[in-house]
Amino acid sequence: MTSRHDRPVALITGAGRRVGAAIARTLHAAGYDLALHYRHATEEAHALACELEQQRPHSTLLLQAELAELPALPRLIDQLLAHYGRLDALVNNASAFYPTPLGTVTPAQWNELFASNAQAPFFLCQAAIPALREAHGGIVNLLDIYAERPLAGHTLYCMAKAALSAMTRSLALELGPQVRVNGIAPGAVLWPSDGKPHDDQQALLARTPLQRAGSPEDIAGSVLWLLRDATFVTGQIIRVDGGRTLSV
């Protein structure tokens, strides 16, 4: 292991694009050095690392891994610690999301949705516990309002996110006082990459008190607050949804 790094270090899964990249930029601007995990978003992850390195040299580490492969998870933590010598924050952002209509669900879909949304976050947390305890660090899990209010046709995804929600609260109980564990449940921030009909989008936003979609930066700012500023907050699921859960 290298000598202890001067700046705080955060590992972000699924950091190459979308919300993960926004979290990376926000934490980096706040003084964190980063381990950027990606699976297939190679070009985007390398471009992001290049962008951040131009702002502060030697501040990023790229880590490629398939999170469904359990042996890869402790290796990610080992690689990070060999490079930085510390870990202050773990952000479990990577997530698979797609419909699984009843009657068509396969074991492969079960395995994929639970692997990214519940299994990998748990085993990454477990591998990171010694370093996070030493740093008195924090964990933030990216959840979904559908963990509480299920989305039709997406039972496996909702189940997996509900498991992650329970894990968040349970780990907060087990890891205090050294490590704080919280979650963020976004509302409409980015539509799924396979698109959502425009009329459906507008109907959803019309039921949201703030009458608009959120931005990746809204989520990223909440992650930073939970990691850096909310020093008396643990075991909480913060709804960053424009008030959507008040009316749906």
Is residue 143 in a domain?
yes
Q: Is residue 2 part of a domain?
A: no
Whether residue 1 is contained in a domain is answered as no
Query: Is 3 a domain residue?
Result: no
Query: CATH code at 192?
Result: 3.40.50.720
Stretches where the chain sits below pLDDT 50 are 1-2, 195-199
User: By CB neighbour count within 10 A (0-12 exposed, 13-18 middle, 19+ buried), where does 59 fall?
Assistant: middle
If DSSP codes are grouped into helix, strand and coil, which group holds residue 99?
coil
Query: For residues 49 and 57, what is the distance between their CA atoms, to the nearest angstrom?
Result: 10
Whole-number CA gyration radius for the chain: 18
Structural domain harbouring 161: 9-246
pTM for the structure as a whole: 0.92
CA distance 101 to 138: 36
Residue 192 has what pLDDT?
56
- Per-residue model confidence as pLDDT tens digits over 56-81: 999 999 999 999 999 999 999 999 99
CA distance 141 to 171: 11
**Residues 6 or more apart whose Cβ sits within 8 Å of residue 187:** 145, 208, 214, 239, 240, 241, 242, 244, 245
Instruction: Tell whether 4 is covered by a domain.
Output: no
**In total, how many domains does the chain have?**
1
157 is catalytic: yes
pLDDT on residue 188: 65
- DSSP one-letter code for 117: I
Which residue type sits at 159?
Answer: M
Angle CA 12–16–17, to nearest 5: 110
- The type of residue at 243 is G
